[in-house]
Amino acid sequence: MSAVTRQQVEDFLFHEAALLDEWRLDEWYGLFEPGATYEVPTTDRPNERSDRAQFYVSDDYELLGARVKRLKSRHAHAENPHSRTRRLITNVRVGRSEGHDVRVDAAFLIYKIRDGNVDSFVGRYEHVLAANGDGIRFRRRRAVLELEVLRPGGRLSFIL
C-alpha cells in the first residue's frame, strides 16, 4: 500500500471526523503512529514552524496521549461535559508521496456547540500520512485556522 488513492484518504479523514464528533478519543488516538505530531499554529502566524513560534497546540505522540486522557477525565473542566461538534471535511487533495509518506491537504469547517453557543472554526489541514501494510496513520496532523482571532471567550478546549 505504498500509494493511496484520494478515495482512501477521504475515507480515512471522514472516519477520523466521525470518531472526534462521537468523542471516541481512544480510537482517534489509535490513528496516529508512534512519533507522530499534532499541531495548531496561532492565527497570527499560521505558516510558522512550532520551534520558531508560539502554537495553540504542539504535541508529540506522548503529549497527545496525555491530552486524550485529560479530555476524557473530569479534570478537563472546559470539556466536562464535552462539547458537541460536527465536522465537515472537503477539498481533499493528495499530494506527493515520498516512500510511505503522503502529503494531504483538506479544508474543514467545525461547528462546536456548548453552553448555548455555536462557534465555527474554519481552516485547512496539512497532514503527512504514513501508508503501509498496516493501513493509513497520521505522521503529522496540522490544523491551520483561517480565523483572524478566536471569538472573545472562545477556546480550543477540544480537538480541531
pLDDT digits (tens, 9 = 90+) for 39-68: 999 887 777 777 777 788 999 999 999 999
Question: Using DSSP, how many helices (H) and how many strands (E) does the chain show?
Answer: 3, 6
Tell me whether residue 140 is in a domain: yes
What SS3 class is residue 65?
helix
Q: Which CATH number does the domain housing residue 72 bear?
A: 3.10.450.50
CA dihedral in degrees (79, 84, 90, 93; nearest 10)? 30
Number of domains, the chain: 1
Select the more confidently predicted residue: 151 or 157: 157
Tell me whether residue 56 is in a domain: yes
What is the span of the domain harbouring residue 17?
6-145
Tell me whether residue 157 is in a domain: no
Tell me whether residue 79 is in a domain: yes
Tell me whether residue 153 is in a domain: no
In whole angstroms, give the CA distance from residue 62 to residue 41: 19
| Predicted TM-score (pTM) of this structure | 0.90
Tell me whether residue 47 is in a domain: yes
Q: Mind listing the pLDDT tens digit for each residue in 4-17?
A: 899 999 999 999 99
CB 159 within 8 A of CB 152: no
